[in-house]
Amino acid sequence: MPEIRLTVEEMRYMSLLQDLTGAVARDCIIDRENNRIIFIVRPGDAGKAIGRRGANINRLRQLLNKEIEVLEYAEKLEDMVKNIFAPARVLGVKVVNREGRKIVYVTVDPNDKGRAIGRGGRKVSVARLVLKRYFDVDDVKIR
Question: Which class does domain 8-72 fall in?
Answer: alpha beta
Span 76-101, pLDDT tens digits: 999 999 999 999 999 999 999 999 99
Q: Is the pLDDT of residue 1 over 70?
A: no
Quote the pLDDT of residue 2: 59
Quote the pLDDT of residue 3: 73
Does domain 77-142 fall under CATH 3.30.479.30? My reply is: no
What is the percent of the chain where pLDDT is above 90? 96
Q: State the CB neighbour count (10 A cutoff) for residue 59.
A: 14
Structural domain spans, the chain = 8-72, 77-142
Span 120-130, pLDDT tens digits: 999 999 999 99
Q: What distances in angstroms separate CA 63 from CA 6, 10, 17, 59, 87, one per listed residue?
A: 21, 15, 11, 6, 26
Span 35-67, pLDDT tens digits: 999 999 999 999 999 999 999 999 999 999 999
Is there a shared CATH topology between the 8-72 domain and the 77-142 domain? yes
